[in-house]
């Protein structure tokens, strides 16, 4: 049962001690009677969690997933609790997808899953098993920027750039369904994405630039 780790204030696992495994093999870790309390912030957790002696693996608590990301197939064994945004950033190193709020409010983590935009902080990586995912890294083709990327450049649609990958991915989905949007429709499409810098006007202009270019 998950609990709160007393040292790192993070959710932790309670793992029953395993005869022949637990206490002797991992003596420096946090032991409470007959149970071992761990969270991802304990030193050495990542090293240990990948090892052959990992009790999660022993009890089949790692899950195999296989999915296509930007046209490349990836297969990994992950903890079921892993969020898609963490899988992309921490496991695969695709750090173009940003994590702002982790509570489904800012939209910085938006990616495309099977053609539709989704906030990857609200999707478990296991839920994306078997899907086609596109991240900001997959947008440019053959060294050429996508019209949306061009639009943000031409219309000064970014300042710090933190929100930009999420803005572009949600607009990518939106423009595929609404090739000739009104300004109001663009603003509605962006309602789930927060920018702290630009005031939004230039982001709307960037979307209009892309819509014009993509519709010829």
- Interface residues toward ligand FES, by CB under 6 A: 99-102, 104-109, 119, 121, 158-163, 195-198
Instruction: Report CA Rg, the chain.
Output: 21
Residues 6+ apart with CB under 8 A from 179: 211, 214, 215
Report in angstroms how near the CB of residue 88 gets to ligand FES at its nearest: 12
In terms of CB distance, is 38 or 195 closer to ligand FES? 195
Q: Which two tokens stand for residue 106?
A: 């800012």
The phi, psi pair for 82, rounded to 5°, reads: -65, 125
In terms of CB distance, is 36 or 111 closer to ligand FES? 111
Report in angstroms how near the CB of residue 164 gets to ligand FES at its nearest: 6
Report in angstroms how near the CB of residue 94 gets to ligand FES at its nearest: 15
In terms of CB distance, is 195 or 207 closer to ligand FES? 195
Contact 204, 182 (CB under 8 A): no
Report in angstroms how near the CB of residue 178 gets to ligand FES at its nearest: 22
In terms of CB distance, is 158 or 171 closer to ligand FES? 158
Q: CB 3: neighbour CB atoms within 10 A?
A: 13
Report in angstroms how near the CB of residue 23 gets to ligand FES at its nearest: 38
For residues 84-102, b (16+ Cβ closer than 10 Å) or e, as one string?
bbbbbbeebebebbbbbee
Contact 214, 178 (CB under 8 A): no
In terms of CB distance, is 6 or 196 closer to ligand FES? 196
Report in angstroms how near the CB of residue 202 gets to ligand FES at its nearest: 9
Give SS3 for 65. strand
In terms of CB distance, is 6 or 156 closer to ligand FES? 156
Contact 62, 79 (CB under 8 A): yes
Cα–Cα distance for residue pair 63/61, rounded to 1 Å: 6
């Amino acid at each position: 049962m998950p609990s709160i780790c007393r040292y790192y204030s993070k959710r932790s696992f309670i793992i029953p001690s395993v005869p022949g495994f637990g206490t002797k093999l991992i003596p420096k870790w946090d032991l409470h009677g007959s149970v071992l309390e761990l969270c991802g912030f304990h030193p050495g957790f990542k090293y240990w969690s990948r090892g052959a002696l990992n009790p999660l693996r022993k009890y089949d608590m790692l899950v195999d997933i296989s999915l296509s990301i930007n046209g490349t197939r990836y297969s990994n064994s992950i903890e079921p609790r892993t969020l898609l945004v963490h899988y992309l950033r921490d496991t695969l190193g695709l750090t173009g997808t940003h994590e702002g709020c982790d509570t489904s409010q800012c939209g910085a983590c938006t990616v495309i899953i099977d053609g539709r935009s989704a906030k990857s902080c609200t999707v478990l990586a296991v839920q994306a098993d078997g899907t086609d995912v596109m991240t900001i890294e997959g947008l440019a083709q053959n060294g050429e920027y996508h019209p949306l990327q061009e639009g943000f450049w031409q219309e000064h649609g970014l300042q710090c750039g933190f929100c930009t990958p999420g803005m572009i991915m949600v607009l990518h989905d939106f423009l595929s369904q609404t090739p000739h949007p009104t300004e109001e429709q663009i603003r509605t499409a962006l309602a789930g994405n927060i920018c702290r810098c630009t005031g939004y006007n230039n982001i709307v202009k960037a979307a209009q630039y892309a819509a014009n270019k993509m519709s010829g």
